[in-house]
Structure 1
């Protein structure tokens, strides 16, 4: 597989590369965990030169939307051949009650600001960034549809939204003839598999292509952390990825055990742990294009190596065993003994 082995995004005709380039590291501030402008330029050039066409950003990334500003500068003269996704929802004007959330006013304002910062007159894919639990779904759907009809947005997607709300919204959009969603951006990795219970099956059923964020588990699956790194984290001191992982509960003994298994199997395959962790996400049929959130060109070069990796069934089984999540109702009941009560002795092949 190569970056120019394009895939359809969900139930749309949009073609995207099997790995998307994330820009959350662009212009996050001096001394933080971000990329320099020169590193960002080299990564964008490398990604496009290899045939990549799917670049992801958000109005919240960088300082005051500077990730979009830099991306717009780097894409001048070649923007039309690329699929650029951005997001709205998170606050960009602290203190302004209508400068955050999923509602129409914030969506329209955010899109106008993103268009200006990106230096373009349309957004290929606009995501709702995070569910706010307050905005009526018909307001969200009609606002998305209006932007598509105006030509300012071509496709729409959801990020970090409950499965029941996503499926409800998709059904309403289809019934009312409004623009349907074609993409779902959620965390998915060997340390975050709970989304396999409801979100990923929902996406397959409702025609949403899954674009995982944090496929390397915020860096834990690269093998760079050890038991010495375990301990509490201070949310007020988030100048490094390690501090963020500790503060958000990602840096745990369980996750390090999973990382150890990734390192072990990567050694067998002669690849890096990051390549193996990325390649594992691509084995799921619902996954269209994981987002790689790299900081340097060297990290991007390494991540792209995941496309050439083949994992044996035995190795997949070991990774699955190491990363299995606890049972959850009703999925595990429905796939357990209840199946015999449903079908008796009848053999039935599940619908793919």
Structure 2
């Protein structure tokens, strides 16, 4: 399956060409207590672009705005060659209810702030970052469409939202002639596969490219955590990385360590690192366009990029799938099982061609 960063892919049902791995810029800046200082972030950016990468992901509040500010500095000489994605909805000013949320005021103010920090007059891809459960979908879609018509945004997308709301929005956009969503960003990895129930199938059906974030499950799939990290004393250690966030988020469980054990075994067989195996598995999903990788050092980024060269045997893929498998739940297990098929087809063979 060997790929390179310039093995470009179309983003959803659009003509936009993007690299098969997106560079996540949440590590640009140290305001959150971890991340890369400006010079180190510049090395990450340069390494990615020099390899042919063109797809960079940030958000209005990443590292309190430093992520966008640094990208504005780094992209001064090659802005037109890059696809810059940013997000709105997270609270920008504590105590100000309208500085966050999905509504029109938040959307327009956030976009204007992002344009200033990124030193550009347009955003290639704008995400609704986090669903707020209060803003009418028509208000969101009309606001997004207005930004596209003004030329301040080229494409619109969504992240962290229920599948039924996303599908509803896509149907409304289509019926009213508004700008459609072209991408869906969700957490997805060997450890977090629940997106396979509804979100990823929905995205494939409705023409949204899937861009997984945290494809290494907050570093768990790199193998750097051990079962001793489950203890409260170890969980409290602050070593200047995302370790405390990962531990506090409940990602360290016996089930997940069982997945990591198989990842390590496959990595040893292939002469690869666990991180490369975890990323390569995500890349193989036909519904996935580009996982978002977040590195803190050039060495970590180099290692991540090696995932593009990983190829699995059928037996290795089966082991990875088996150890990380989840039940799909109602109605998916019924519909995918023999009983469900018998109810609609009897003993006939019917092949879908599309």
When the two structures are superposed, what TM-score results if normalisation uses the length of structure 2? 0.96
Q: Which residue of 1 aligns with 2:321?
A: 320
**1:294 counterpart = 2:295:** yes
User: For residues 350 and 180 of structure 1, what CA distance do their matches in structure 2 show?
Assistant: 27
Q: Which residue of 1 aligns with 2:31?
A: 29
Question: Post-superposition shift, 1:67?
Answer: 0.7
Q: Which residue of 2 aligns with 1:332?
A: 333
Q: Which residue of 2 aligns with 1:159?
A: 159
User: For residues 273 and 177 of structure 1, what CA distance do their matches in structure 2 show?
Assistant: 45
Question: Post-superposition shift, 1:236?
Answer: 12
Q: Which residue of 1 aligns with 2:22?
A: 20
Q: 2:6 aligns with which of 4, 7, 12?
A: 4
Q: Secondary structure at the match of 2:45?
A: helix
Would the aligned equivalents of 1:263 and 1:272 in 2 still touch at CA under 8 Å?
yes
The runs of at least 4 aligned residues of structure 1 exceeding 3 Å deviation read 231-240
Q: Which residue of 1 aligns with 2:207?
A: 207
Q: Which residue of 2 aligns with 1:136?
A: 136
RMSD between aligned alpha carbons? Answer: 1.6
Would the aligned equivalents of 2:237 and 2:244 in 1 still touch at CA under 8 Å?
no
Q: Which residue of 2 aligns with 1:342?
A: 344
Q: Secondary structure at the match of 2:213?
A: coil
Structure 1 gap ranges (5+):
none
Q: Which residue of 1 aligns with 2:283?
A: 282
Question: Post-superposition shift, 1:61?
Answer: 0.2
Q: Secondary structure at the match of 1:219?
A: helix
Would the aligned equivalents of 2:159 and 2:184 in 1 still touch at CA under 8 Å?
yes
Would the aligned equivalents of 1:230 and 1:253 in 2 still touch at CA under 8 Å?
no
User: For residues 55 and 228 of structure 1, what CA distance do their matches in structure 2 show?
Assistant: 35
Provide Cα deviations, 1:83-123, integer angstroms capped at 9, x if missing partner.
00000000010100100000000000000000000000000
Structure 2 gap ranges (5+):
none
Q: Which residue of 1 aligns with 2:55?
A: 54
User: For residues 46 and 246 of structure 1, what CA distance do their matches in structure 2 show?
Assistant: 30
Q: Which residue of 1 aligns with 2:266?
A: 265
**1:169 counterpart = 2:169:** yes
Provide Cα deviations, 1:116-152, integer angstroms capped at 9, x if missing partner.
0000000000000010000000000000000000000
Q: How does 1:250-261 map to 2 (within 5 A)?
A: 250-261=251-262
**1:304 counterpart = 2:305:** yes
Compare 322-331 and 267-276 and name the one that shifted more.
322-331
Question: Post-superposition shift, 1:27?
Answer: 1.0
